[in-house]
Amino acid sequence: MTSTFIATNPTLRQGDSGAAVTELQQLLNAKGINITVDGVFGGATRVAVVQFQQQNGLVADGIVGIQTWQALRRNAPIQLTDAATYYEPSNYPYQKQAFDWLQSRISRFDLEEFARRWRNLR
């Protein structure tokens, strides 16, 4: 695989595996193309990628590059666990700005309750 850091949009192809492939499979499912989420870019994942690329007017080569990532992520919801896992503000300064914006909209009570649960304090 070109990169293991998902936020960089690694180029993926059949034979790759890992977290980026898992994200790819989850995004394909979110777009209505049912694929097993196993983190392995096998033949079924390649077929699903080609189908998605065809449906979205992309080059249908089964290789996930920047245009395919962008189309997959368009209007896709984000999980906070994903954001925290791939938080790298030294390379992506806009990530800190996004977290700061979100935190400014969460009440102090909710932040304190989250901290209590996060620390497993009863």
Please give the DSSP secondary-structure letter assigned to residue 8. Answer: G
> What is the arithmetic mean of pLDDT over 23-36?
91
Q: How far is 2 from 122, CA to CA, in rounded Å?
A: 44
Question: What are the backbone angles phi and psi of residue 17, rounded to the nearest 5°?
Answer: -155, 165
Nearest to 16 by CA among 41, 35, 36, 37: 41
- Nearest of 1, 2, 9 to residue 86 by alpha carbon: 9
pTM: predicted TM-score of the whole model, two decimal places: 0.63
How is residue 119 annotated by DSSP? T
pLDDT in tens, 57-102: 999 999 999 999 999 988 877 778 777 877 878 877 888 898 999 9
- Where are the domains positioned within the chain? 6-73, 87-118
Structure tokens at 32: 């209505």
What is the fold of 6-73? Muramoyl-pentapeptide Carboxypeptidase; domain 1 (1.10.101)
Entry field: residues in the chain: 122
